[in-house]
Structure 1
Amino acid sequence: MKHVKRTDESILVCVYYGLNGERLIRRGHKLATLLDCPLYILTVDTKPLDAFDAEKSGYIERWTALAEELEVEKFIIKDNEKRPIQKIIAEVARENNVTQIIVGQSAQSRWEEITKGSFLNVLLKEVPFVDFHIVAVKRPIEDETSGTFEKGVRAYVIQDLENYKIVFTCPKFPSIEGIFFKEIGTDFDNGIFKFSFENRMHEVKIKEGFVSNPHLIHSIYGISKK
């Protein structure tokens, strides 16, 4: 019989890109476990999901895997958002009956504004019905993978006989659209190709213009041709 969690408490963890996201999620999970209540994760970005760079996509993938591991109620990604953050937090909190919100105090996080009185006052006015936990986190160190890839460019993966190759002009036949991140220091099209499918980010390796691990592409490409 499935365990039924209490409904009078619900926790929302707000994460932005950086090395502290996992820590905040685990902090929220610990509190949710103690209270035996649902846990939600929220991240917000002004860009659409399929336009995320390699670093952002990597965080989304790790947070998605962690959410599945911890069996959180829902990982909410608000992409392509132009509204103020506090409006989005308030909307998500109301929709999910949130009673407690966890955010991180980080000098290089978009959520840093929450530590400033003016923003916090605005946020409290938007969601006066919740308790806030502002967690002190370490300043993120430089990403070990920075400098590995060039800036991402729009690209497409198409079928080429029994293989799949990457092209940079929109084809007139079935293809998979995404972002290609070329390795720095190579004369060939070597790197990674990231794309969105069924509301999740996926990644395949590209070697000399061809997909080197085509199993995922093959299954998705078969669907796209229908």
Structure 2
Amino acid sequence: MNNSVYNESILVCVYYGPNSERLIKRGCAIANLMKAPLYILTIDPKPFDELDAEKLFYIEQWKEYAHAHATAQFVMKDNESRPVYKVIAEVARDNNITQIILGQTAHSRWEQITKGSIINSLVREIPFVDLHIVSVARYIRDEEGLYEKGIRAYLIKDGEKYKLSFNHEKQIDFEGIFFKEVDTDFDNGIFRFMKDAATLHVQVIDGIVTELTNVDIHAAMNLDDSVK
């Protein structure tokens, strides 16, 4: 039942990548303002048990965000052969959605998958829903090619520091995604992980994290992130 005082329901559509966190925060802000239920949706053509470690990491994070929000619910549509807009429209109808939030990057990516305009298709399919296209910074330094695709990794306490490992050992302290700088033979880059229900990005130098201090990704990389 929709208990929103404005009779609204919010749907955030997320695709794998760091920008999903900002989209969810935008959705939470709108949902809180309108006292509306929030749904977080992701869609994948592969079945869940065939998803790689990086995708599973993001899914785990999205579930955490949903659990942290009193009226939020995470929706996973895997093994989907239908066009993305059809799946979004179905979820929107089933949950009486009135507003949909899409990231510009996810929007572009889904258009590549569907080979058509997802926005035009959604407008035709569910004309009663307001669409919000949020401009977001792209994948971590993806435009400049300074970081490789993220891979599953772990931090293991080693004295006062943490050692980066790519093997799941018994004594791991944190599990996350490591984004390695390109053109280097050393494990330098950014390690992204969850700590106390918050997402942190810490600097890795030669496979070592000296302190769990959050790095301001956008400031450090001079990315345009004007949407708050």
TM-score (normalised: structure 1):
0.60
- Counterpart AA for 1:146: G
Report matched runs for 1:27-38 at 5 Å: 27-38=26-37
Does the Cα contact within 8 Å between 1:11 and 1:98 map onto a contact in 2?
A: yes
Counterpart CA distance in 2 for 1:38 and 1:63 is 16
Q: CA deviation at 1:8?
A: 1.8
8 Å Cα contact 1:15/1:42 also seen in 2: yes
Q: Distance in 1 between matches of 2:71 and 2:43?
A: 18
- Partners of 1:48 and 1:136 in 2: how far apart? 29
Q: Where does 1:132-151 land on structure 2 (aligned, <5 Å)?
A: 132-141=131-140, 146=150
For structure 2, the 5+ residue unaligned runs are: 154-164, 172-228
Output the CA distance in 2 between the equivalents of 1:73 and 1:87. 22
Greater mean deviation of Cα atoms: 71-80 or 94-103? 71-80
The question of 1:39 aligning with 2:43 is answered no
Distance 1:71 1:137, change over 3 A: same
CA distance in 2, matches of 1:98, 1:56: 26
Structure 1 pair 124–57 and aligned structure 2 pair: CA distance change class (3 A): same
Match of 1:24 in 2: 23
2:92 is the counterpart of 1:93? yes
Residue 76 of structure 1 pairs with residue 80 of structure 2: no
CA distance in 2, matches of 1:14, 1:106: 11
Amino acid at match of 1:128: P
Q: 1:148 Cα shift?
A: 6.0
Report if the CA contact (8 A) 2:89-2:125 is conserved. Answer: yes
Verify the 8 A CA contact 2:14 2:102 in the aligned structure 1.
yes
Quick one: distance in 1 between partners of 2:8 and 2:112? 26
Q: What SS class does the counterpart of residue 102 from structure 2 fall into? A: strand
Alpha-carbon distance, 1:72 to partner? 3.7
- Equivalences for residues 104-119 of structure 1 within 5 A: 104-106=103-105, 110-111=109-110, 118-119=117-118
Partner Cα distance (2:68, 2:105) in 1 = 25
Partner secondary structure for residue 106 of structure 1:
helix
1:74 to partner: Cα distance:
1.3
Alignment check: 8 A CA contact 1:38 1:73 kept: yes
Q: For 1:70-116, what per-residue CA distance to the aligned partner results, in whole angstroms no more than 9, with x for missing partners? A: 224310000011100010000000000000000000179634569x9
Partner of 1:158: none
The verdict on how the C-alpha distance between 1:105 and 1:30 changes in structure 2, with shifts beyond 3 A counting, is same
Q: Could you tell me which residue of structure 1 aligns to residue 51 of structure 2? A: 52
C-alpha displacement at 1:10, in angstroms? 0.5
Q: Deviations over 1:129-187 (max 9, x none)?
A: 100000000011156773567xxxxxxxxxxxxxxxxxxxxxxxxxxxxxxxx94xxxx
Contact 1:15 1:21 in 2 (8 A): yes
Give the conservation status (yes or no) of the 8 Å contact 1:113–1:119. Answer: no
Q: Deviations over 1:2-34 (max 9, x none)?
A: xx5337211100000011001000100100111
Q: Please tell me whether Structure 1 or Structure 2 has the larger radius of gyration of its CA atoms.
A: 1
SS in 2 for 1:56: helix
Match of 1:196 in 2: none
Runs (4+) of structure 1 exceeding 2 A deviation are: 4-7, 107-114, 116-119, 142-149
Distance 1:84 1:117 in 2: 10
Question: Hey, what's the Cα distance between the residues in 2 that align with 1:148 and 1:100?
Answer: 34
